[in-house]
């Protein structure tokens, strides 16, 4: 198999997991490391990618090396320019989430990739965490019966006080939208992977730490096309029982008519059949890298798909439909899959109905937003993940 030549842009906190993953993937070679702090880039290259060239200018790196693939691991506001530079050079792109600060910018990035002919993937790695892969396997095997609800209680406990995030990801403090934009998107995508596409969403968001610009707590309610419901209950101030509160970032309950699957903060799964006792569910996962080596698993999935000429997007869960009363049928394409609007088609806000609002802030700093997602792919409105 031909070797894939990879360049990585970014040497910040989360980039460490990308660098570690790429050096362990077969048939790939990191040929360049780029960061505006060239000293940091040199240190990362020496530790993870001996022999890779070091740059502080991504344009010069692209011009001199023409890598097959560029992994962009930088803050969201930088993504549009970097993807544009990669598109001009003809390099495929894996880009960290959130893809862009606004839906319009995200859609422009997608259009640019399509027009230029490069392949573009958003690095949404939570769905590749091993506990969620196992949960999906159990769902599709029928262990829980017909799923009717999912809930996640996110409590990483890393957001208290005026110095919150400054030592790790300081740009978190200045994000005008934070909880859903930066973190909640992971769980929205995971809910989609396990439960299918949502048709309506309601959010009640607020800011608890005054040192932040954006919200850091809230509730998000989901109605899924299958008739199931979902709850994301998140705040970053409190923690939960765990050796490492960033391993799972909280606890999940996945319920069906035959039983309940529970995830705890140690990555353990517990299965309780209806009317029976809860017991631990054994499964294997790798205690390396980030959250069960999910960064490596994400990269491997994308690379395998691209190398085979397949679509890297995963199909929805194979679950029995339980359509909500009063809702029409989802139009089907010729292959029997739900007919969805292409990601690059502009979103018409009027289609969201009279309940769709821009967020507004109360005097107490609370932020509220509600809206409907009928007919839209989940995630398009907020993150295109």
CATH assignment at residue 57: 3.40.50.720
Residues whose CB falls within 8 Å of the CB of residue 91, separated by 6 or more in sequence, listed in order: 7, 62, 66, 67, 68, 69, 70, 118
| Nearest residue to 359 (alpha-carbon basis) of 225, 220, 235, 249 | 220
Split at pLDDT 50, 70, 90, the class of 310 is confident
Total structural domains in the chain? 2
pLDDT at 319: 58
pLDDT at 295: 97
Cα dist from 26 to 22, 69, 124, 308, 359, whole Å: 9, 15, 21, 15, 45
Task: State the chain's mean pLDDT as an integer.
Answer: 84
Tens digits of residue pLDDT in 86-129: 999 999 999 999 999 999 999 999 999 999 999 999 999 999 99
Residue 272 pLDDT > 90: yes
- Residue 212: both structure tokens together: 């932040």
Tens digits of residue pLDDT in 127-149: 999 999 999 999 999 999 999 99
**Residues 220 and 188 placed together within one structural domain of the fold:** yes
d(CA 107, CA 84): 13
**Structural domain containing residue 243:** 127-285+342-372
**Residues 75 and 145 placed together within one structural domain of the fold:** no
- Would residue 263 count as lying in a domain? yes
pTM of the model: 0.80
Residue given tokens 């101030």 in the structure block: 237
Higher pLDDT, 85 or 368: 85
d(CA 95, CA 79): 7
**Residues 264 and 163 placed together within one structural domain of the fold:** yes
**Residues 103 and 200 placed together within one structural domain of the fold:** no
- Would residue 274 count as lying in a domain? yes
């Amino acid at each position: 198999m031909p070797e894939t030549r990879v360049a990585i842009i970014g040497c910040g906190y989360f980039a460490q997991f990308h660098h570690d993953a790429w050096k362990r993937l077969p048939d790939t070679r990191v040929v360049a490391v780029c960061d505006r702090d060239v000293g940091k880039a040199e240190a990362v290259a020496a530790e993870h990618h001996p022999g890779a060239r070091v740059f502080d200018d991504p344009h010069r790196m692209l011009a001199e090396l023409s890598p097959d693939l560029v992994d962009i691991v930088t803050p969201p506001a930088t993504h549009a320019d970097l993807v544009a530079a990669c598109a001009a050079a003809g390099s495929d792109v894996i880009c960290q989430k959130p893809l862009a600060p606004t839906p319009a910018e995200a859609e422009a990035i997608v259009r640019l990739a399509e027009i230029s002919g490069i392949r573009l993937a958003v690095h949404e790695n939570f769905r590749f965490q091993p506990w969620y892969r196992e949960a999906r396997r159990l769902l599709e095997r029928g262990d829980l019966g017909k799923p009717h609800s999912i809930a996640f209680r996110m409590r990483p406990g890393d957001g208290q006080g005026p110095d919150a995030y400054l030592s790790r990801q300081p740009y978190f403090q200045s994000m005008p939208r934070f909880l859903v934009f930066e973190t909640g998107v992971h769980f929205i995508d995971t809910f989609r992977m396990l439960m299918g596409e949502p048709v309506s969403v309601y959010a009640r968001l607020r800011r608890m730490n005054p040192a932040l610009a954006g919200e850091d707590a809230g509730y998000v309610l989901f109605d899924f096309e299958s008739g199931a419901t979902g709850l994301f209950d998140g705040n970053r101030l409190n923690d939960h029982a765990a050796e490492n509160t960033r391993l799972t970032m909280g606890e999940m309950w996945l319920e069906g008519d035959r039983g309940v699957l529970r995830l705890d903060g140690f990555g353990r799964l517990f299965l309780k059949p209806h009317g029976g006792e809860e017991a631990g569910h054994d499964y294997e996962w790798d205690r390396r890298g980030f959250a069960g080596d999910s960064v490596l698993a994400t990269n491997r999935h994308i690379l395998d798909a691209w190398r085979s000429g397949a679509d890297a997007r995963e199909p929805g869960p194979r679950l029995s439909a339980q359509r909500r009363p009063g809702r029409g049928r989802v139009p089907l394409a010729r292959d029997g899959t739900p007919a969805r609007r292409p990601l690059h088609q502009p979103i018409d806000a009027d289609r969201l109905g009279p309940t769709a609002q821009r967020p507004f802030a109360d005097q107490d700093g609370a932020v509220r937003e509600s809206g409907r997602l009928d007919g839209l792919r989940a995630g398009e409105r907020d993150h295109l993940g």
